[in-house]
Amino acid sequence: RTRGSPAERRRDMDAFAPGFLAVYESLKPSGEQRSKQEQLVDSLARSVRKECPHAQMHLYGSCANSFGTSHSDVDVCLEMETGAESAVEVLVRLADVLRADGFENVEAITGARVPIVRMSDPGSGFSCDICINNLLAVANTRLLKDYARIDERLLQLAFLVKHWAKQRGVNEAYRGTLSSYAYVLMCINFLQLREPRILPCLQAMEPTYTLTVDGTECAYFDRVDQLQGFGAGNKASIGELLWGFFHYWASQHRYKRDVISVRLGKTIRKQEKGWTTRVGGDRHLMCIEDPFETGHDLGRVVDRQTIWIIREEMERAATVLQNDDDPCATLFEPY
Decide: residue 13, CB within 10 A, 0-12 exposed, 13-18 middle, 19+ buried: buried
User: Segment near ligand GTP (CB under 6 A), from 28-36, 134-142, 259-267, 273-281?
Assistant: 134-142
Element at 287 (helix H, strand E): strand 287-289
User: Segment near Mg ion (CB under 5 A), from 1-9, 60-68, 160-168, 228-236?
Assistant: 60-68
Give the footprint of ligand GTP on residues 175-194 (CB under 6 A).
Answer: 179-181
CB atoms within 10 A of CB 291: 25
Residue 228 DSSP one-character state: T
We find the least distance from the C-beta atom of residue 61 to Mg ion, in angstroms, to be 4
Give the footprint of ligand GTP on residues 232-261 (CB under 6 A).
Answer: none
CA 188 to mean position of chain CA atoms: 10
Site membership for ligand GTP, residue 73 (CB under 6 A): yes
- Written as one letter, the residue type at 277 is T
CA distance 90 to 87: 5
Give the footprint of Mg ion on residues 68-107 (CB under 5 A).
Answer: 73, 75
Secondary structure of residue 23 in the 3-state scheme:
helix
**Binds 141: which of ligand GTP, Mg ion, none (CB < 5-8 Å by kind):** ligand GTP
Site membership for ligand GTP, residue 173 (CB under 6 A): yes
Whichever of 173 and 204 has its CB closer to Mg ion, that residue is 173
Residue 61 DSSP one-character state: G
Site membership for ligand GTP, residue 62 (CB under 6 A): yes
Report how far apart, in Å, the C-alpha atoms of 250 and of each of 209, 246, 247, 281, 317 are: 36, 6, 5, 26, 9
Site membership for Mg ion, residue 61 (CB under 5 A): yes
Site membership for ligand GTP, residue 165 (CB under 6 A): no
Q: Summarize as ranges the residues that interact with Mg ion (CB under 5 A).
A: 61-62, 73, 75
